[in-house]
């Protein structure tokens, strides 16, 4: 009897969710097929997603190695082999994605997934990030891409990863606040500014909103609120943070602090509403005072004050070592130094006269004075009122919206804005060093564009699986132990993947047959998790649907 043992681990969850979303048939419908192909483009993309969510730290060129120890016919279909996922097939698939349009292809998959999973897409969060890349990349003039003006340029720009020495590409993403599901993504040149990206996105969203069956809310950070976007913002329903560079922002915060007429939400938040018209848009500016932000501001400004004091002491020491030809020049130098200080001021300002005599050595009593020079003298004093004012200003922020009062209350506006980190968590996931390091080994910008789209598809699969699991846990009132063995109802899917390490797929025949396989390593916890996720994963792990109400 022939026995084959392979590792299934968490890969059945990933493959099951992809199958539940009907991703492969949809991709095959829109991407060109080849009569001689061993696997379809949709299956190739499924393989790349599984590679990325395998957290195996393997580039695309080593995909066959990744699939060697997996039950690939069980996860895909009979006849599929690990060698079919070679770099030539995957490279051609990336080219096909780019030729179709990465943004359009992702939108099709995301729209279908959200319909299947009944994701609430009413509130959307928008943000951008930069992906730093190493190595040499083909320029726009190179090879056959010189005639394509739409190919992204990998170049230097403002690095959000704090790596200005590396070239980069900018990625824009919109996610739903229901589960952080990616709804749209687009890649931009490495030196694209957020204001330009947000303007183009706002312009595109205007067309979508007109056909939407119910109101949609766009949530973004302060880069969205710009005069160049006013034309399109007036046609959208937005929630955004007002930039501190707008003078009216500081004025309204000062007025709210002076009036002290707050409406309390909880122990942390209180607010005051201002109705106004700005950039020709009628809107509400909600001044929010946060206790937690005040505590953070106190620590931040305390550090800034200490650094400023140290720098001022150093500058004052060097200034006192100088000699001025007249008293007025010495006083001007002290005034100029004092004027630059935000949290300190100079007190006990004085000038000391020093006589310089003719000749060398100790002067005689009646020695004539050659000239008089002046030395500065001052003490440093902290401006407590200025420090307190800065702390109060930083403990407040303003949220702007043009949503109707009856549609969204100030409490709901704050709630939706606080959900903005959902898109930032998605970016952190994509930048994980164990996830898709393959971008470092692709030289064509068009393929990097397509790969970033597939990376976001991986985030889509991950987010939907996690959302589905957590919803089932809440519905059935179930928990699983976390990393320190404490019950939790909101585990991350990454932790669940780690829990599935060590599930073996045992095949008792030379050829694959569903009737001659069994799994080794499935315990009660793993069976419980599979039941919570449900869908095609139950079939891949040979589990009957539980009657737990999940």
Cα 293-297-298 angle, rounded to 5 deg: 120
Give burial (CB, 10 Å; 0-12/13-18/19+) of 172. Answer: buried
CA distances 50 to 34, 194, 240, 452, Å, are 23, 31, 36, 15
Task: Please state, in angstroms and rounded to a whole number, the distance separating the CA atoms of residues 125 and 181.
Answer: 10
In a 10 Å sphere around its CB, with 0-12 CB exposed, 13-18 middle and 19+ buried, how is residue 116 labelled?
A: middle
- The tally of CA atoms less than 13 A away on the side-chain side of residue 520 is 10
Q: What is the CA radius of gyration of the chain?
A: 31
Side by side, the strands of the sheet bearing 281-290 are: 182-188, 167-176, 123-133, 217-220, 238-241, 396-401, 281-290, 269-278, 263-264
Q: According to the model, what pLDDT value does residue 437 have? A: 46
Task: Supply the DSSP symbol for 526.
Answer: H
Around Cβ 447, how many Cβ atoms within 10 Å?
A: 22
CA distances from 95 to 99, 132, 136, 197, 543 (A): 6, 22, 19, 24, 38
Position 145 scores a pLDDT of 44
Domain boundaries, the chain: 1-221+420-550, 242-398
Q: Which two tokens stand for residue 245?
A: 């560079």
pLDDT score, position 371: 87
pTM of the model: 0.84
Which residues, other chains included, contact 268 with Cβ-Cβ below 8 Å and sequence gap of 6+? 290, 291, 292
DSSP output for 219-273: EE-GGG--GGGHHHHTTS-EEEEPPTTSHHHHHHHHHHHHH---EE-SSSEEEEE
pLDDT truncated to tens, each residue of the chain (550 aa)? Answer: 678 889 999 999 999 999 999 999 999 999 999 888 999 999 999 999 998 888 776 666 678 888 999 999 999 998 999 999 998 899 999 999 999 999 999 999 999 999 999 999 888 888 888 887 776 665 544 444 444 557 888 888 887 777 788 888 888 889 999 989 999 999 888 888 877 888 787 777 777 766 666 678 889 888 889 888 888 888 888 999 999 999 999 999 999 999 999 999 999 999 999 999 999 999 999 999 999 999 999 999 999 999 999 999 999 999 999 999 999 999 999 999 999 999 999 999 999 999 888 877 788 777 888 889 999 999 999 999 999 999 999 999 999 999 998 889 999 999 999 988 877 888 788 777 666 544 446 778 888 889 889 989 999 999 999 999 999 999 999 999 999 999 999 999 999 999 999 999 888 877 777 777 888 988 999 999 999 999 999 999 987 765 544 4
Tokens standing for residue 105: 């292809």
Whole-angstrom Cα distance, residue 96 to residue 121? 29
**Separation between Cα atoms, residue 187 and residue 104, nearest integer Å:** 12
Burial of 492 (0-12, 13-18, 19+ CB in 10 A): middle
> Quick count: other Cβ atoms within 10 Å of Cβ 36?
4
- Looking at residue 137, its pLDDT comes to 66
Can you give the pLDDT at residue 357? Answer: 84
> Residue 433's pLDDT is what?
66
Strand partners, 171: 129, 187
What is the reported pLDDT for 142? Answer: 47
């Amino acid at each position: 009897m022939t026995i084959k043992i392979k590792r299934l681990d968490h890969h059945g969850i990933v493959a099951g969710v992809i199958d539940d979303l009907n991703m492969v048939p949809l991709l095959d419908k829109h991407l060109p097929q080849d009569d001689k192909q061993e696997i379809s483009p949709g299956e190739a993309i499924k393989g790349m997603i599984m590679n990325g969510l395998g957290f195996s730290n393997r580039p695309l060129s080593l995909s066959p190695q990744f699939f060697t120890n997996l039950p690939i016919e069980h996860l895909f279909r009979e006849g599929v082999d690990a060698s079919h996922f070679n770099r030539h097939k995957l490279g051609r698939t990336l080219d096909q994605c780019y030729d179709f349009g990465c943004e359009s292809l992702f939108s099709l998959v995301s729209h279908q997934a959200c319909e299947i999973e009944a994701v609430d897409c009413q509130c959307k969060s928008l943000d951008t990030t930069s992906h730093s890349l190493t190595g040499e990349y083909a320029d726009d003039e190179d090879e056959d891409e010189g005639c394509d003006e739409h190919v992204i340029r990998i170049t230097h720009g403002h690095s959000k990863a704090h790596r200005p020495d590396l070239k980069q590409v900018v990625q824009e993403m919109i996610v739903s606040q229901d589960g952080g599901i990616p709804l749209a993504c687009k890649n931009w040149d490495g030196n694209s500014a957020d204001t330009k990206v947000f303007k183009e996105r706002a312009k595109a969203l205007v067309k979508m909103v007109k056909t939407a069956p119910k109101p949609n809310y766009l949530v973004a950070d302060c880069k969205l609120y710009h005069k160049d976007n006013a034309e399109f913002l007036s046609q959208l329903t937005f929630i955004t943070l007002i930039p501190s560079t707008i003078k009216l922002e500081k004025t309204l915060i000062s007025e709210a602090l002076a009036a002290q007429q707050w409406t309390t939400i909880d122990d942390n938040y209180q607010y005051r509403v201002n109705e106004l018209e700005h950039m020709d848009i009628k809107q509400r500016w909600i001044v929010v005072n946060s206790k937690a932000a005040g505590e953070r501001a106190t620590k931040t400004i305390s550090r800034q004050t200490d650094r400023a004091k140290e720098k001022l002491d150093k500058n004052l020491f060097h200034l006192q070592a100088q000699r001025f030809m007249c008293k007025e020049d010495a006083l001007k130098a002290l005034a100029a130094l004092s004027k630059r200080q935000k949290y300190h001021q100079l007190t006990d300002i004085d000038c000391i006269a020093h006589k310089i005599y003719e000749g060398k050595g100790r002067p005689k009593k009646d020695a004539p004075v050659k000239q008089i020079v002046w030395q500065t003298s001052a003490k440093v004093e902290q401006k407590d009122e200025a420090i307190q004012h800065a702390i109060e200003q930083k403990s407040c922020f303003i949220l702007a919206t043009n949503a109707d009062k009856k549609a969204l209350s100030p409490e709901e506006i704050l709630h939706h804005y606080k959900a903005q980190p959902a898109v930032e968590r998605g970016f952190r996931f994509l930048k994980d060093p164990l996830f898709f390091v393959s971008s470092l080994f692709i030289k064509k910008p068009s393929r990097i564009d397509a790969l970033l789209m597939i990376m976001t598809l991986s985030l889509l699969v991950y987010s939907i699986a996690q959302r589905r699991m957590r919803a089932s846990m809440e519905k059935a009132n179930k928990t699983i132990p976390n990393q320190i063995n404490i019950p939790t109802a909101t585990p991350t899917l990454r932790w669940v993947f780690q829990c599935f390490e060590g599930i073996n797929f045992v095949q008792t025949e030379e050829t694959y047959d569903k009737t001659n396989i069994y799994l080794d390593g499935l315990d009660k916890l793993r069976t419980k998790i599979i039941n919570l996720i449900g869908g095609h994963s139950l079939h891949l792990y040979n589990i009957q649907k539980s009657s737990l109400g999940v």
